Amino acid sequence: MLALLLPVLRADLKLLETYHFQTEAPLNIPLYALGGADDTVAGRENILAWEQHTTADWASQFFNGGHFYFREGDQTPFFNYLRASLDRWMGG
């Protein structure tokens, strides 16, 4: 198992080490940023900053919880949001 996972982990760490953000024109695709209301890792301002990367529909939604809000407490609001979003995108 280690032989399978180690190359992937190394590649991920290399990407983290070498990545440098470059400003480019915003994408013309809908962008929806989700976050935890109490997230001290990503933070509200970082979630909201994704708006600058699209010229199409933009929305943000915050749920109760921290960085792993989708695994904490009542997951119903999160899954209801996902279900409604998928229904909208699929034309349902």
Query: Residue 52's pLDDT is what?
Result: 95
Q: What is the pLDDT of residue 51?
A: 97
4 part of a folded domain:
no
pLDDT under 50: residue ranges of the chain: none
Q: Is residue 12 a part of any domain in this protein?
A: no
Q: Per-residue pLDDT tens for 47-72?
A: 999 999 999 999 999 999 999 998 98
pLDDT at 91: 82
- Contacts of residue 34, defined as CB under 8 A and 6 or more positions apart, other chains included, come to 47, 60, 61, 62, 63, 78, 81
Asked whether residue 14 is assigned to any structural domain, the reply reads no
Residue 92 has a pLDDT of: 63
> How many domains, the chain?
1
For residue 57, give its domain range.
Answer: 27-89
* Amino acid 35: pLDDT: 96
